[in-house]
Amino acid sequence: MKKRKIPMRKDLLTDTMQPKKSLVRVVIDKEQNISVDPTGKKPGRGAYVSLDPEKIKFAQEKDILQRSLGSKVPDAFYEELYAYVDHQKARKELFGDQ
């Protein structure tokens, strides 16, 4: 059986290449709306971040997403992103990679 290629993406927070499934995409569209993109298919400029809640807190302190996306990132979005990442991390611990 032929081995499938695993898509890799660069994690904005750790600056390492990781499998796409272990990251979440943050996207900014033409109207400057920032959102979490779990499907990875929304149009706009995207950045991949790791599923580590501590790294999200660090990104908020250092304005890493703001510099990468080129727009002000509201605190409410960081709360939404933190909740999403925390939930996904808990799911991976319970169910493993699926």
* 76-92 pLDDT, tens digit each: 999 999 999 999 988 88
- What's the whole-number mean pLDDT along residues 46-70? 91
On whether residue 2 sits in a domain, the answer given is no
On whether residue 1 sits in a domain, the answer given is no
Q: How many domains does the chain have?
A: 1
69: containing domain: 8-95
On whether residue 3 sits in a domain, the answer given is no
CATH code for position 29:
3.30.1230.10
Is residue 28 within 8 Å of residue 69, measured between CB atoms? yes
pLDDT value of residue 92: 85
Is residue 82 within 8 Å of residue 57, measured between CB atoms? yes
Exposed/middle/buried for 92, CB within 10 Å: 0-12, 13-18, 19+?
Answer: middle
67 has pLDDT over 70: yes
20 has pLDDT over 60: yes
On whether residue 54 sits in a domain, the answer given is yes
Q: Which residues are CB-contacts of 94 (< 8 A; sequence separation ≥ 6)? A: none
